[in-house]
Structure 1
Amino acid sequence: MDIETLIADRYRPVALLGRGGMGAVYEAEDTRLGRRVAVKVLSAIGGPSRDETALRRFVQEARALARIDHPSVVTLYDEGVHDGIPYLVMQLLDGVDLARLVQETGPLPPDAVCWVALGMARALGAAHEAGVLHRDVKPTNVGITGGGRVVLQDFGLARLAGESAITRFTGFVGTPQFMAPEIIRGAPPSRTADLYGLGACAYLMMTGQVPFGGDLSVGAVVEHAIGAGIPRLEHRRDLPYPRELRALVDRLCAQEAAARPRTADEVALLLAPLAGDGQVVLSEWVAGRLRDAAVKQVFDRYPPGALDAGAAPVGSPGPSGTPEYGWDEAGVPAQRAGHENPFRPLTLSDTTRRMVLGSMTPQDAASRLREAVTLVLRGRLQEAVQMLSAITQVCLSSLGPGHPTTLACQYWQAVCLARLGAGGPALELFSRVSAHIDQEK
């Protein structure tokens, strides 16, 4: 699907967030309600060769997903079929996934491990109560927001897409590193299989390593998974975690489903007393990374001197030809050299940026600026930073650094940085705006 295509005459793609075997995920604008959303386009079960039975099942399962109402489950807003391809419209969250969090920090502190696992358990409990199995619990499906909230996503997508569609790309319905051994052997999905995935994620958080090592082939991972299984943690004295936590993770990762806890609610009850200040720890780390990403977004977009008083208008940045983020076959973001932001891309895609830079007039820029200010006033600071950065590039190119619209964009960028806690960079930008204004007097 082209990123410039309006999906279902309503959702306008803004940036490609990821691509994998089932399709692609876009950040999009809901043109009716004026909000940002995530749109997952499931091309694996649509298109010219679509299966009508699979499409009917998609609608049924999507309705089941919509019944899950829990703060640790990503909210499903809408579903439909566009040009024969099913899509889901979901809540868009700023934050980092668990895989990247562990990659950045290594093993997590005990409170943080318990808080993430607790959020996952509560999410699975709500889903299981609604009759929905996740089927693919893994770190890239676990998000942590700037407020430290744990959000589990992609519920039931393995079922929505159907086994035949998924196995064409991966050979498995799920991820072998985090897949219960009975599922690998061909048993039907179950609640305890979801809990095994939770345990494998906890193992990653506590050791900093995927259960069977990151350098093994799929065949070798499967052999370990159905053989000796995930190494036990209970008697490892080198790990600074409560013994009861290590014992719980061992139970969750048990080879036999009957040896695992029976329900997610049981797991949550065991984890709740151990979570401590986990939310605060995660909130501070994620909020700091979001703040750093916003500062980079604001300042790294300008050529040297472009923000200084007296600078001449810069030329149109034009397309770079190389996006900041690539996406591998599994839909995992692959960072490019020089970019350290572990979150979803805050910048517009190259295709969209070319379109914006080539067609936006000064009047358009002023109109978009008003939209961005509305986002700031609503507290949607990451979205505002993204929009303001694109508008500022246009203004610098076509209007110059001293134009009132350019200065207004930079002022509101500074407001965003200040509210995100980046006081020094915000003050620097405020000072530059003031210098331009003083020069005009």
Structure 2
Amino acid sequence: MDGRTDLAGRPGGGPVVAGRYRLLGPLGHGGMGVVHEAEDTRLARRVAVKMLTAVAGLDEDDEARDRFLREARALARIEHPAVVTLYDAGVADGTPYLVMQVLDGLSLADLVTRTGPLPTAAVAQVALDVVRGLAAAHESGVLHRDVKPSNIGVNRDGHAVLHDFGLARLAGERAITRTGELVGTPQFMAPEAIRGAAPSPAADLYGLGACMYLMITGELPFGDATVDYGAIVERALGAGIPRLSGRLLSPPAELLDLVDRLCAQDPALRPARTQGTEALLERQAVDGREALAALLAGQLRDEAVRSLTEPADADDEPEYDWDEAVPHPRAEHPGPLHPPTLSDATRRIVLSSMTPQNALSRQREAVNLVLRGELQEAAQMLAAVVPVCLSSLGPDHPTTLTSQYWQAVCLARLGAGDQAVELLARVNRHADVRRGNSR
């Protein structure tokens, strides 16, 4: 895991980390580093590679390097469906990296941004998964240190998964030494952590409470992300997160009270898992998994349908600002609440390199994604392939027709049956024209 690594390029692909992980393109970035979609060339599978650029420049005998590797080994010991799986870790040319599973679906931040407040059962299910994931981590001696919506993925089967464990610790000391700035997200950061206290399980649970506040209200705990950074910190250390108890909200009183207790300024007043938290969430999470899966399915279906009427344009400005939700203190134009999803990134990667010559190759990649059940990424890739085929090869070309056929398959499997049938009818009309011309 800590052997010699390299970032050398390879013919026909992007840079390769550790002689094994070919970087395909960025999925997003934040204060700790950049996340890339990558191919594990040894096992022929897609992975996510996070390069911790905030701690670049580690030497062989650097204490921070040894600490990073120890933390990575601890994280790798956690086995729980609500915790992202760590496959590998190392240091490439002085930059630490983590190799993890690719999370399908959307981040919790993205889901709330698109849908607004979540149903009570969905809120409770996400919270229950996170509570159990944190418990598994804490029992292994690992603290998360940065629980926030963009670090919680919601999969298409309705499971919430925590990722980016310990990155605040891995990069924090070095970043603070270099810049003298706060490392973390004060919208979801426990007040004692902002003051510099040692991280604790109670601080992780505060982050969960702040995430629940967002899920229930659809609002950030301390107001819009464009609010001055200093003002957010002042609110976090002052009155704290506004109480939910007594407000006219749909969740039952016991769930609102739980959020208030999790967000208590005094960590000693926050409930622990052993104090009935899990039992309370279980009572409220009936059918929560199904509710989350339905929300995800609806969002992914709508996204696939939009791709039919709003074809991507390689010359468009980027759809997303890749910065984190909470801006740098000196940022003039803070980014959105959520980072880009995997499908957004995949679409942009494809667009940046799409030509008529490689459209067939991209189409085959998309078909493989469909066959593996990775419909979100396949739909986005085909949404980029089809316009290029139509404009460069024509509507009757076999590559165009095949691409549209698989686009229809994606739509059908994502639940957009009417649009799938309409597209298949269009494919059949052009196929009949082609057959007529070939007679």
Please name the residue that 1:222 is paired with: 233
Residues 225 and 167 of structure 1: is their aligned pair in 2 closer, same or farther, counting only changes over 3 Å?
A: farther
1:347-367 alpha-carbon deviations (Å, 9 max, x no partner) = 54656634342xx63xx5445
Of 284, 299, 306, which residue of structure 2 is paired with 1:274? Answer: 284
Alignment of 1:22 with 2:32, yes or no, is yes
User: What CA distance in whole angstroms lies between the structure 2 residues aligned with 1:182 and 1:161?
Assistant: 19
What amino acid is the match of 1:423? Answer: G
Of 208, 214, 227, which residue of structure 1 is paired with 2:218? Answer: 208
1:113-169 alpha-carbon deviations (Å, 9 max, x no partner) = 211111111111111111110001111112212221111111111112132315756
Contact 1:4 1:352 in 2 (8 A): no
Q: How many residues are paired up?
A: 417
Contact 1:17 1:344 in 2 (8 A): yes
User: What CA distance in whole angstroms lies between the structure 2 residues aligned with 1:124 and 1:351?
Assistant: 34
Please name the residue that 1:8 is paired with: 18
Please name the residue that 1:308 is paired with: none
Shift of 1:408: 1.4
Contact 2:409 2:420 in 1 (8 A): yes
Contact 1:111 1:278 in 2 (8 A): yes
Of 234, 242, 262, which residue of structure 2 is paired with 1:252? Answer: 262
Please name the residue that 1:328 is paired with: 323
User: What CA distance in whole angstroms lies between the structure 2 residues aligned with 1:162 and 1:324?
Assistant: 30
Residues 117 and 167 of structure 1: is their aligned pair in 2 closer, same or farther, counting only changes over 3 Å?
A: farther
What amino acid is the match of 2:353? Answer: M
Alignment of 1:427 with 2:425, yes or no, is no
Which structure 1 residue ranges, 5 or more long, are not aligned? 303-316
SS at match of 2:420: helix
Contact 1:347 1:386 in 2 (8 A): no
Contact 2:59 2:94 in 1 (8 A): no
SS at match of 1:88: strand
Residues 208 and 83 of structure 1: is their aligned pair in 2 closer, same or farther, counting only changes over 3 Å?
A: same
User: What CA distance in whole angstroms lies between the structure 1 residues aligned with 2:398 and 2:238?
Assistant: 67
- How do 1:168-247 and structure 2 match up within 5 A? 171-214=181-224, 216-234=227-245, 236-247=246-257
Q: Which moved more, 1:428-437 or 1:375-384?
A: 375-384
SS at match of 1:178: coil
User: What CA distance in whole angstroms lies between the structure 2 residues aligned with 1:226 and 1:110?
Assistant: 29
Residues 178 and 169 of structure 1: is their aligned pair in 2 closer, same or farther, counting only changes over 3 Å?
A: farther
Shift of 1:397: 4.9
What amino acid is the match of 1:142? Answer: I
SS at match of 1:326: coil
Shift of 1:107: 2.5
Residues 105 and 367 of structure 1: is their aligned pair in 2 closer, same or farther, counting only changes over 3 Å?
A: closer
1:300-337 alpha-carbon deviations (Å, 9 max, x no partner) = 327xxxxxxxxxxxxxx7x51622222235589957xx
Please name the residue that 1:300 is paired with: 310
Which structure 2 residue ranges, 5 or more long, are not aligned? 1-6, 328-333
SS at match of 1:269: helix
Contact 1:25 1:40 in 2 (8 A): yes
What amino acid is the match of 1:89? Answer: V
What amino acid is the match of 1:58? Answer: F
Contact 1:195 1:264 in 2 (8 A): no
Please name the residue that 1:311 is paired with: none
Please name the residue that 1:378 is paired with: 372
Shift of 1:10: 2.5
Of 75, 98, 106, which residue of structure 2 is paired with 1:65? Answer: 75
- How do 1:134-149 and structure 2 match up within 5 A? 134-149=144-159
Please name the residue that 2:122 is paired with: 112
